[in-house]
Structure 1
Amino acid sequence: MHKKLVVLAAAGVLAAHSALAAVTDVTVNGTKISAAAQEKIIQAAMAQGQERTPQLEKDVRERLIGEQLLVDAALSQKLDKEQPVIELLAQSRSNILAGAALNRYLKNHPVTEAEIRADYDQKKAQYGATEYHVRHILTQTQKEAEDALKRIRAGEDFAKVAREVSIDNGTKDNGGDLDWASPSSMVKPFADAMKAQKVGEVSSQPVKSEFGYHILLVEATRPAELFPAYEHAKPTLRQELVQKKVFEYIESLRSKASIH
């Protein structure tokens, strides 16, 4: 009895594998839909997390048959001769060829691990080794900033003055708290002042930037913690470098083209 069960189980496994391997060519009104074309779509579905089943194979086959029937119907009605369809077909052709050119270029000029690492190291150096916990008060005019500074020097709490005076709606309710940040994330006049101030100090004078006039309070500093680790940043950096290569490739083609 035990041997019989084993044989039956083995037969079931073989049958299942046979069912999953049953993708074959299909011909619709003389047009062949190849097993390879079906298999490509099945593999794409599996890459998205779908399980390969006889039902998936059937769904793919039926979908391609339906598409071909619609194509045949369109051709029989000469829809391919109508201007809107001609324009769409031309655009599709352009998209496909442009994509093919990019794929070939990126295949021959892939983003390397060394390029990603170099980009990461450069961005990390730009970020800086130190983060600052800063509060600020932002005003429209220098006089408003000077008046706020006088109040603070007279003993008023910085956070209280920020809530009453600052025009930075993103921080004023928190007493001007910018939390931890790198100088690289700030506009240059603000970043320079932040780095120059000692912990616990308030600006000696208002700092002018493109946003207005700032009064700063540096509450603390620490070694940089917020910059992401290499493995975490790697996918984003890779995509940025791919986009950079695409841009440079198109620009190189533009430089040789006749564009009027």
Structure 2
Amino acid sequence: MKTQRIAQAAAVAAALVLAAPMVLAQNIAIVNGKAVPKSRFDAMMTQIAKQGQQPKTPDLEAKVKEQLVLREIFAQEAEKRGIAASEDYRQQMEFARQSVLIQTLFADFEKKNPSTEAEARAEYDKIKATSGDKEYRARHILVEKEDEAKALIAQLKGGAKFDELAKKASKDPGSAENGGDLDWASPGNYVPEFSAAMTKLEKGQFTQEPVKSQFGFHIIKLEDVRANQSIPPFEEVKDQLIQRNNQMKLAKFRDELKAKAKTDFKFSNQ
């Protein structure tokens, strides 16, 4: 009987020895009898990887483990001092709970509603269409009264140089000193009346009648036309467009949740 009990004890001891490495493998450390689980370490490393802050290295892993053990030490001390029962702690925990929930909600929405390359292409084509496929280099002379503009047009027809008249008579401080030169721009950069008149001109021509806009009366001369160079190729801006579409989808989702909520609170933009 005694021999049998010794054999049983030896078997139990052997089992414990074999099991010990498996138990330790599930924990980073034991702090005052409480385990710091490896799953906590794995979760922290996953968060670091998502943020892309730094590459995974043995040195980084060692630092993370050290921080997790320190956190456990400090948390245990806080528990011992009854801090977890304080009102301040409970309020902070509620804010933290909400923050994690909201962050996870938005991350889940973005994961399930990703913007596609096709959507980015559609947005790119829309921007390109609005900007136009051509750029125009024009000059103009801006005056306050129609009679002034007509008198200047008469001088131009008589052989006066456009840039010299612009320097003398134009009220546009941004271009007058440069002889009315507006540099290269898409038609969409100008007010509609200006764009409509400019795009009808042939290279070297100027408007035969004053063009009225909210700024006054314009005389416009078209210097040159070229393919629009202000819009980069799609591949260069694809990622930015996808990111922007993701942000717009998320903003719409947030607005929809806000609109559906039943609350007596009045938001500032309502």
Is this a same-fold pair by TM over 0.5? yes
Tell me if the contact between 1:148 and 1:165 (Cα under 8 Å) persists in the aligned partners: no
Q: Which residue number in structure 2 is paired with residue 256 of structure 1?
A: 260
Q: Which residue number in structure 2 is paired with residue 60 of structure 1?
A: 64
Q: Which residue number in structure 1 is paired with residue 83 of structure 2?
A: 78
Q: CA deviation at 1:225?
A: 3.0
Q: Secondary structure at the match of 1:110?
A: coil
Q: Which residue number in structure 2 is paired with residue 238 of structure 1?
A: 242
Tell me if the contact between 1:26 and 1:35 (Cα under 8 Å) persists in the aligned partners: no
Q: Which residue number in structure 2 is paired with residue 200 of structure 1?
A: 204
Q: CA deviation at 1:138?
A: 4.1
Tell me if the contact between 2:138 and 2:182 (Cα under 8 Å) persists in the aligned partners: yes
More off after superposition, 24-33 vs 100-109: 24-33
Q: CA deviation at 1:132?
A: 0.9
Q: Secondary structure at the match of 1:202?
A: coil
Instruction: Name the % identity.
Output: 34
Counterpart residue identity of residue 105, structure 2: A
Q: Does 1:149 align with 2:152?
A: yes
Q: Say which of 118, 128, 140 aligns to 1:124.
A: 128
Q: Which residue number in structure 2 is paired with residue 39 of structure 1?
A: 45
Q: CA deviation at 1:111?
A: 1.0
Assess, with a 3 A threshold, how the Cα gap between structure 1 residues 68 and 216 changes in structure 2: closer, same or farther.
farther
Assess, with a 3 A threshold, how the Cα gap between structure 1 residues 39 and 99 changes in structure 2: closer, same or farther.
closer
TM-score, reference length from structure 1: 0.70
2:180, 2:224 → 1: CA distance? 15
- Number of positions where the alignment pairs a residue of Structure 1 with one of Structure 2: 235
More off after superposition, 241-250 vs 169-178: 169-178
2:200, 2:164 → 1: CA distance? 24
What per-residue deviation string (whole Å, max 9, x for no partner) do you get for residues 13-58 of structure 1? xxxxxxxxx996245564736220342255357x34x444333223
Assess, with a 3 A threshold, how the Cα gap between structure 1 residues 198 and 255 changes in structure 2: closer, same or farther.
same
Please provide the CA RMSD for this pair.
Answer: 3.7
Q: Secondary structure at the match of 1:198?
A: coil
TM-score, reference length from structure 2: 0.68
Q: Say which of 82, 106, 112 aligns to 1:108.
A: 112
Structure whose alpha-carbon radius of gyration is higher: 2
